[in-house]
Structures are given as C-alpha cells and as structure tokens.
Amino acid sequence: MASLENLLESAVKDGTTSGIVVFAKDKDGKVDIAKAFSPENGTPYNLDSVMEIASMTKFPTSVAALQIVEKGLITLDEDLSHLLPTLAEQGILISVADDGTPTTRKRQNPITLRRLLSHSSGAGYYFLDAGLGKIRATQKAPRHTVDEAFGLPLLFEPGEGWAYSPSLDWAGLLVEKLTGLTLDEYMVKNIWEPLGAHSSTFFPDQHPDIKARQVPMAYRDDPDGPAVEKPDVKTIISGYKHCFGGQGLLSSMEDCFKLVYSLLVDDEKVLKKETTALLFTPQLTSASKESMHKFMETPAMKVMFPSPVGVDRDHSLGGLLIAGDGHEYWREGTVMWGGAANLNWFIDRAAGVCGVFGTQLLLPSDPRMRSLINAFQKDVYRRAGKLE
C-alpha cells in the first residue's frame, strides 16, 4: 500500500481534501486496508470518524427494504399506493407554466418497491429537473418530511424510464410504515447491531458519542484551491428532523465497510443469500436502461462514475451495476455508488473484493477526488492479484 498511502497522504497535505478514511478487503486474505489520513492543521481523521455519507445512505436503506420483503411484509412488485399515498397521487408531468403550475396526466403503471430501489419509479429530484425545480420554487410549505420534500409529479410512467431520485427516501418511509419503527431504530436493530457497528445514526444530537466523532464538511472557494473546513456552513442534512433514507445518515467508514464486506462474503448477517443475489442482478427494462445511460453520460456523472465506452451498465436493487466486461478492473456484477461529499463504495463478488472511500468535501463530482478514488480502487484490485 506504500504508493497509495503516499498518494493519499499527499492529497490531504496539499489540501486536495481535508482528510480521508479507506477500508478494503478481499475474500482471499491478500488485501486488508484500514487507514485514516489527517491534515497537519485541521480536524484529525480516525477509522471511526463520523461523516455525512449523503447518497451512500441509499445502500443501507435498500438493505432495510429488502429485509422487510424477507419478513413477508411487502413484495417487490405489489402496488404501494395505499402505503405511499402522497407519491401515488402524483400524475405524470407534461409541462410547467411560468408560475410553477404543473400540467399532469394520470399515472397508469403501479409504483412498486422494485422500481423504487432501481430508480425507475418515475420520481425525480427537483434540483436535477428544471420542471420540478420550477414547481418546488413556488411551494412555500415546510420540507421537514419525505412527503413535504418530495411530493412532486412523476417524470415518467413507472418502469418506463429512469431518473436519479428520492425513491430511496420513499423506500425508507415504507420501512417505517410497515415496521412501526423509525428508519433509524430499524437500522440499528436489524443492520448495525448484527454487524457490530455502532457509529451510524440519522439523529446525531441524540448520540453524543457519535456526534463527538463527526468531522466537519470542507469546501473549495475555487475549483483549483484547497479544501477548507467550514463547520458552520449548512450541509445536506442541516435541519433534518426525520429520517431521509436517500441522504440523511451519518456514519463511519468502518460501519459502512462492515455492511459491504458482509454482502461480499455472503455471511447472512443482514440478508439471506438469495436476497443478496438480487443486489447483483440487473433490474431495468430496456427503456429505463436507456434513460439511465443518458444520465450517466452527463458531465457530473462521468466524473463520479467513469466507465470506458462499451462497458455495459444497469442498475440493481442496491446501486449502479456493471453489466458486462471490458473495464480495466471491475468485473460483471460489480455494484457501487457514492455520496455527494466525494464518498464511494464498491462490491465486486466476481473478483472477491470490496472497499469504501470516505471524505467530507462538497461540492460533488470533484475531478481531483475522483482520481484518488480511482487510484484506491485500482490498488485494491492490484493487491488482490485481480488486474489483468
């Protein structure tokens, strides 16, 4: 790990980011990386440092949703209208007037858990779609709950398109309705405790030990400048009072790694083997897959998840899925995703490797950070003897 360690140490020292934590293992015992990199002047980073993991929250929420399928509380393909009425009542967006008034048509296809987990439900983020953004700008109601924040028209018929979306926030709300627990309580009991993980919560103010280990968010004042910690600046989860399963979790990379490693080795601590297998299988229709490919070719996503021309991609019930061969090191069936503050996780069961990369740097899609994530992942495969 010497060259990788030098690279990450230099990146923290020169201000590329404010600190880094990495974990990785393989099934053969050749790789065992657990390392924190701290700045000379700034907040120390440790293996149990707590971060806002942003959209990396989606993965444990997906696991929680699959657990309630295992418990027989819901199926992947039944209509969720009676459980998520605010989402179900939304029509398909046709147009938006200058005053933000939407024109919609009635939805025909059911919203299902499979479609929520694969981002093919029709829901969309208002900060990624101009029409939804125009509607949201005219709404003055509070946005403290999932219903308030994301009760917006659908962008397409469920199952007939793809949009990166708050679908996992709705899935988290579904878990709460079917279990009678908050998503925070549910994850502690059914994910974190079985894994021996103790640094994850949606409510840091209720857990002084976790909050004390939280590192501040850093920002760049210009794209070429250094990362500067700004603990008083509002972040993604500032003001949250409810569980948002798409982006609201605080966690350590140690906790996140325990989850991805459990699913790599298929130890059934959180999911049965047959359920885990679903996390590594493609879920999109041809229309949805085509829509996802267009999104993944946008400039921001090409930075976050680069992939050579010709490498097929799909989406599973847990993240972006490599659906073919041709990548330098990712094997077919690799699943991955990340978080806005330049965090990342991946699981490659074919190669037998997994890893997490954590930092706290906004805004997302920082090219300098992506080069570090690439170097980390490539080193994991090299050390495991899996590079061609």
Q: Per the residue annotation, which of 125, 164, 186, 381 is the catalytic one?
A: 164
Burial of 273 (0-12, 13-18, 19+ CB in 10 A): exposed
Sign of the torsion angle spanned by Cα atoms 327, 288, 52, 367: positive
- Amino acid occupying residue 173: L
Q: How far apart are CA 241 and CA 259, in angstroms?
A: 25
Q: How far apart are CA 222 and CA 225, in angstroms?
A: 5
Secondary structure (3-state) at 158: coil
- Amino acid occupying residue 168: L
Is the Cβ–Cβ distance between 291 and 285 less than 8 Å? no
Helix axes 58-70, 253-265, angle to 10 degrees: 40
Give yes or no: 27 in active site. no
Reference 282, options 324, 345, 339, 328; nearest CA is 324
CA distances to 108, 164, 211, 296, 347 from 261, rounded to whole Å, are 40, 25, 25, 26, 8
CA distances to 144, 235, 310, 321, 331 from 313, rounded to whole Å, are 34, 31, 9, 6, 11
Measure the CA dihedral 127/130/135/139, to 10°: 30
Beta bridge partners of 237: none
Long-range pairs for 293-302: beta carbons < 8 A, 24 or more residues apart: 295/162, 295/163, 295/164, 296/320, 299/365, 300/364, 300/365, 301/365
Give yes or no: 164 in active site. yes
Q: Per the residue annotation, which of 18, 38, 55, 307 is the catalytic one?
A: 55
- For the chain, how far is it from start to end, CA to CA, in angstroms? 19
The enclosing H or E element of 185 equals: helix 183-187
Q: Per the residue annotation, which of 38, 45, 58, 258 is the catalytic one?
A: 58
Give yes or no: 381 in active site. no
Positions marked catalytic? 55, 58, 164
